Amino acid sequence: MSAVFPTVREVLALDPVRHGAPRVVAGDAGLDRPVRWVHVAEVPDIATLLGGGELVLTTGIGLPADDAGLRAFIGDLADVGVSGLVVELGRRYVSGVPRVMAAAAERRGLPLVELRRATPFVRITEAVHALIVDAQLTELRAAEEIHQRFTDLSVEGADAAEVIRQAAELSGCPVVLENLSRQVLGYDPAGESAELLLDGWEQHSRRIRPAGRTAYDPDSGWLVTVVGARGQDWGRLLLRWPASGDAPSARGGEAALAPPTRLTILIERAASTLALGRLIRRDAEGLERQLHRTLLTALLDHSRPVDEVALRAKALGVALDRRHLVGVMVRHRGDELAGENGPEVGQARLRDLSEAVGQALREAKLTALTSAVDDNSVGALLALPDPAAEDRALAAFAGALRRVRLDAGAGRAASAADPSRPGSGVDPLRSGVGGTSAGLIIAAGSGVSNLREARRSLVEARQIVEAARRDRRDLPVFRLPHVGLAGLLHLLRDEPRLQTFVERELGPLLEYDAQHPRERLLDTLRAYLEQGRNKSAGAAAAHLSRPAFYERLARIARILDADLDSVETSLSLHVALLALEAVRTP
């Protein structure tokens, strides 16, 4: 029964009732029962005309005179589910209701109230019915606002976090969205402690077992509805009622009152909005992956406090506290993802890579936050039990990713050979046949001991994966010692002093090439230095005759005012060329 109705206790506080000097003589444990209506009765067989939830008013003049009759009268009222019985003294009972009546009411938990002063019943019924009607009008207005609010959210395409926030704001109660594994996808504590709300969430959630698709679990105090559409459920939305979590059942009293109808409407509309949003974004990342991306991005750009990231990650099932953390980045060699085939193909490849990384982490039984972090790379923050597990975990991940890619490649190749199979016609470039050596780079940063240092490991992994793009070695995992001089310069490409060095060494030659683009003297210098200052080999590499090559080298020496026969000078120019390439590489 909806809590929109006033309780017996609230009715006793109304002025017309207080005028009658009410006194509860039995059944005070039931004073929080809702009153659906008020009924005046002076006959003993009134129970057959009632439907439950009524507060019965009587003077007692028609009640049975014998004890057995009074017990039967009270029993009939309790059986039909009336909210309480109010007896006005003076006409039938002068000093008080019979003891047998009070004992029977106490035994059945039925509130029995004496009115010790005469009170017109019509004033009581008017006051109570006005209270009920006002409450129902308020409930209708609230329901209308709920419908309008969530309709607007659906039209605006609001994300899950905004839907949850609005549900908590409208209800004033904590709201939690979880997946089918009881991991928290989003929450709003409605001003309460998030730590207390989410502590041990999975175990707590598994004890919440409402009967029905949308139902209230009085034992736990949570109103729950299933989230999903088209026969595919993917989560539950939970709202705690009462907001404090102090349900009557938790205090050892009678069963908790059901939440107001408006809250049932609210949670169902919120769930529908979430389900609709997921259908609309069915080709986008799942909610879990979106949250992973939010948290990884927060670590990289300091957009959220570290403590909040740790709390939200823990609620998602990824514990980052007291773990050895290792940043990992995975990308294709070259620019295949952002690539030449248009942004849609690039996004599809990135999505494929993100799914492959997630599957590899699951197969390797590793705990991590993982998601695409830019247009080309998929990142992961591994949470390991101790530093000793680092090398073993990275090797397991690299091996699992290779297997996932091989399996995916085999499946797509079969689909391409058999057009009748699902997925036929897939671009073979997306298959990744051949594992990591066929086009993937895995890079890992240095392990760190706490979440505040995790950004350093992630940034280092990102720099290493970029530096290793032109490295032809087929290493399972690139680490900082593997990147060499070119990699080191790539790591330092944003350093102003390195950029100043490039301009000092090569600036005049860059200006000359800008004015004479056909001569491309920078390429001539590169060919000379890459061939170990062997002029004949350099001329061949540059596709120039030796006289032409020699003449260009002489011109370069004049422009730079440099001795190209000097080992030290040539070394400095070679480093500057490598640094220039690193600076120009996105």
DSSP 124-150: HHHHHHHHHHHHHHHHHHHHHHHHHHH
User: Is residue 150 a part of any domain in this protein?
Assistant: no
Is 295 found in the same domain as 276?
no
Token pair 């890992």: residue: 444
Q: Which helix (H) or strand (E) holds 239?
A: strand 232-240
Q: What's the number of domains the chain is made of?
A: 4
Is 393 found in the same domain as 370?
yes
β pairing state of 175-179 and 324-332: unpaired
Task: Give yes or no for residue 258 having a pLDDT over 50.
Answer: yes
Predicted pLDDT at 425? 33
Task: Give yes or no for residue 426 having a pLDDT over 50.
Answer: no
Is 501 found in the same domain as 473?
no
What is the residue range of 114's domain?
8-130
User: Is residue 577 a part of any domain in this protein?
Assistant: yes
Task: Give yes or no for residue 434 having a pLDDT over 60.
Answer: no
- Grouping H, G, I as helix, E, B as strand and the rest as coil, residue 380 is strand
Is 571 found in the same domain as 433?
no
User: What mean pLDDT comes out for the span 262-289?
Assistant: 80
User: From CA 412, how far away is CA 174, in angstroms rounded?
Assistant: 46
Is 472 found in the same domain as 336?
yes
Helices (H), 302-368: 306-315, 343-363
User: What mean pLDDT comes out for the span 251-263?
Assistant: 62
User: Is residue 139 a part of any domain in this protein?
Assistant: no
User: Is residue 1 a part of any domain in this protein?
Assistant: no
User: From CA 185, how far away is CA 281, in angstroms rounded?
Assistant: 16
User: Is residue 571 a part of any domain in this protein?
Assistant: yes
CA dihedral of residues 85, 91, 94, 96 (deg, nearest 10): -10
Is 446 found in the same domain as 341?
yes
User: From CA 153, how far away is CA 167, in angstroms rounded?
Assistant: 11
Is 172 found in the same domain as 38?
no
Nearest CA among 353, 504, 492 for reference residue 429: 353
Domain boundary among 280, 315, 345: 280
Q: What share of the chain is helix, strand, coil (3-state, %, to 5)?
A: 55, 15, 35
Domain boundary among 280, 309, 337: 280
CATH number, position 191:
3.30.450.40
β pairing state of 214-217 and 368-372: unpaired
Find out whether 153 and 273 touch, Cβ atoms under 8 Å: yes
Task: Show the tokens assigned to 22.
Answer: 């009410």
Q: Which amino acid, one-letter code, is at 356? A: A
Q: Which long-range contacts (CB under 8 A, 24 or more apart) does 204-210 make?
A: 205/178, 205/236, 205/238, 206/182, 208/238
Rounded to a whole number, what is the distance in angstroms from the first to the last CA of the chain? 64
CA angle at 293 for the pair 153 and 438, rounded to the nearest 5°? 130
Q: What is the pLDDT of residues 156-209, one digit of tens each?
A: 888 899 999 999 999 999 999 998 878 898 999 999 999 999 998 988 998 998
User: Is residue 491 a part of any domain in this protein?
Assistant: no
User: What mean pLDDT comes out for the span 428-437?
Assistant: 34
Domain boundary among 93, 115, 130: 130
Is 357 found in the same domain as 222?
no
CATH number, position 22:
3.40.1390.20
Task: Give yes or no for residue 336 having a pLDDT over 50.
Answer: no
| Beta bridge partner(s), residue 87 | 58, 114
11 CB-side CA count, 13 A: 36
Task: Give yes or no for residue 442 having a pLDDT over 70.
Answer: yes
Percent of the chain topping pLDDT 70: 87
Percent of the chain topping pLDDT 90: 46
CATH number, position 391:
3.30.70.270
Predicted pLDDT at 244? 62
Q: What is the pLDDT of residues 551-566, one digit of tens each?
A: 999 999 999 999 999 9
Is 561 found in the same domain as 436?
no
